[in-house]
Amino acid sequence: MERTAKFICIIGKPNCGKSTAAEKLMTAAGKGLIITPDFDNWNAKFGEIDLSEAKNYHYTGIKSAVYQSDEDFGFIYNWFFDGLLVLDDCRNYVPANFDHSQIANIIRRKRQRMMDIAIMAHQLSEVPKKFFGYITEYLIFPTEGNADARKDVLFDKTEKLNAIIARVNHRAIAEHNEHVSQYVKVEKL
């Protein structure tokens, strides 16, 4: 049986549960690596690794690293296998057109490397447009934005994602709970 690699897009405003969801996904995977644009709670909680050393990829559990340069994606491509790679606030370090970035290799070869990917952003407009061709599922928390800013890449999925976002936002208000979410596979949109 062939393994299908996931590419999960986690969207939601600050303090809605994105990080908790990402942590649960990494824990379920058995091995997680979260990349951040700068030192934050992830790095303090899970310990930071030096991405440039192969020996640092031999672990179980969750580790973190602060993005330094595109070379980091090359190290990840070479040495991170069989786990979940999480790109937190990815708009700060993933180029809009990443064809010539090392991240392109990771995305294109994720299945062969037994790697799932999750990206985290506050709203869909913060997700690099080129990612939308690879996303297999969404985890949507309450958010300020909608899908209209990405309708040029979402096409017929725009209205359906807007309806889901509206439902999640409405439910969060009705239940006075910012931690509500909805999971949807792209194939179901």
Q: Is residue 1 part of a domain?
A: no
CA angle 91, 97, 99 (to 5 degrees): 125
**CATH at residue 88:** 3.40.50.300
CA angle 17, 19, 21 (to 5 degrees): 70
pLDDT in tens, 89-147: 999 999 888 988 999 999 999 999 999 999 999 999 999 999 999 999 999 999 999 99
Q: Is residue 55 part of a domain?
A: yes
Q: Report how many domains make up the chain.
A: 1
Q: Is residue 166 part of a domain?
A: yes
Q: Which residue has the tokens 């809009």?
A: 96
Q: Where in the sequence is the domain holding 126, given as residue range(s)?
A: 7-188
Q: Edge to edge, what strands does the sheet with 115-121 contain?
A: 61-66, 31-36, 83-88, 115-121, 7-11, 137-140, 182-185
Q: Is residue 2 part of a domain?
A: no
Q: Is residue 11 part of a domain?
A: yes
pLDDT in tens, 11-57: 999 999 999 999 999 999 999 999 999 988 888 899 899 999 999 99
